[in-house]
Structure 1
Amino acid sequence: MANTPVFQIVGYKNSGKTSLLSDLIAYGTDRGEKVAAIKHHGHEEPLKVMHLDTDSYRLHESGAFLTGVDSPRRFQLELSHEDDFPLTQLVNIYQHFSPDLIAVEGYKHEHFPKAVIIKREDDLPMLDQLTNIQLVICWDERMVDRLSLPAIPLREWRKRLPEVYRLAKEGA
């Protein structure tokens, strides 16, 4: 089992994390790479079980802490736990499937290489609070020149995907 590169995209709510991560995943997939995704759900309300009124739902509700359903071309997994799962444990699980890249949305304070989205001036303190920042994506392109970290304006994101994907694969 290889040590798969992990790359995070972090930012505050409604900063564009999912859109940017989707673009990054599509870029890699279009080039024949296997890209896996992990999304952190930081809201208080619990996630809903994937499919109500299915056999897997019944098995889960019977008390199984881990329920998997395999079908041609798709596998779904439902895992119940008391506390947040550490990202490193999830990455270890994902590595068993030999992806070329594990793309992560959220988990700001983990130490994996990351891109930080700065939507407004109030977001700038994140750059001092987080570790392993490889890239900053700025909504306001006037901020790009003021930063000491590598930064790109949001409007250039898609044009710069080859560079960002290469950075994500290199890890740190």
Structure 2
Amino acid sequence: MTEAPVFQIVGYKNSGKTSLLSDLIAYGTERGEKVAAIKHHRHEEPLKVMHDDTDSYRLHESGAFLTGVDSPRRFQLELTHEEDFPLKQLVSIYQSFSPDLITIEGYKKEDFPKAVIIKRKEDLLLLDQLMNIQLVICWDEHMTEQISLPVIALKDWRKHLPEVYKKAKERT
């Protein structure tokens, strides 16, 4: 089994990560590809259980650390863990479903190939702090004139989806 490539989109809160990742996923899906997504939830409030007041909820609340629900066209999984779950382990789980691409929102410090969103001047520090940056998406092109990495203006994002998707699928 060939492992799917992994591609991250990272940036600070409200920089547009979810919107850009949604566009990238839709682009791949429209071409018949199986695109998977992992989202990092850094907020302090806990996630809500997927199926409140259902049998799966009851099983989860009974103490099952891992609860899955399979239906004819959808599978949902709930995993409870004490410590942060390592992203590489999540990617490994996703690989077992044979996707064409695994996309990740967040997990800035991980070493997978990534696009970095620059919204404010202060965000430029990310370019020195992060590894494996493949491209930069900026809200204001003037902020990134001195950058040697490929840069895409946010306003032109959708025009560049074919090349971004191709870059996301590259194996590094």
Q: One fold, TM greater than 0.5?
A: yes
For the pair 1:27 / 2:46, whether they are aligned, the reply is no
Say how many residue pairs are matched.
172
Residues of 2 paired with 1:147 and 1:154: CA distance? 16
Structure 1 length as normaliser, TM-score? 0.98
User: CA contact under 8 A between 1:144 and 1:152: conserved in structure 2?
Assistant: no
Deviation at 1:149, TM superposition (A): 1.1
How big is each residue's C-alpha offset from its partner over 1:81-127, in whole Å with a ceiling of 9 and x where there is no partner? 00111110000000000000000000000000000000010100000
Corresponding residue of 1:143: 143
Residue 71 of structure 2 aligns with an amino acid whose one-letter code is S
Deviation at 1:46, TM superposition (A): 1.1
Corresponding residue of 1:67: 67
Residues of 2 paired with 1:10 and 1:147: CA distance? 17
Divergent runs of 4+, >4 A: none
How big is each residue's C-alpha offset from its partner over 1:54-91, in whole Å with a ceiling of 9 and x where there is no partner? 00000000000000000010001000000111110000
Residue 51 of structure 2 aligns with an amino acid whose one-letter code is H
Deviation at 1:157, TM superposition (A): 0.4
Deviation at 1:44, TM superposition (A): 1.1
What fraction of aligned residue pairs are identical, expressed as a percent?
Answer: 80
Taking the TM superposition and a 5 Å limit, the aligned residue runs for 1:4-153 are 4-153=4-153
User: Where does structure 2 lack aligned partners over 5 or more consecutive residues?
Assistant: none
Residue 168 of structure 1 aligns with an amino acid whose one-letter code is A
Structure 2 length as normaliser, TM-score? 0.98
User: CA contact under 8 A between 1:113 and 1:171: conserved in structure 2?
Assistant: no
Residues of 2 paired with 1:149 and 1:126: CA distance? 13
Residue 65 of structure 2 aligns with an amino acid whose one-letter code is F
Deviation at 1:45, TM superposition (A): 1.1
Deviation at 1:51, TM superposition (A): 1.5
Residues of 1 paired with 2:6 and 2:121: CA distance? 28
Deviation at 1:131, TM superposition (A): 0.1
Task: Report the 3-state secondary structure (helix = DSSP H, G, I; strand = E; otherwise coil) of the residue aligned with 2:145.
Answer: helix
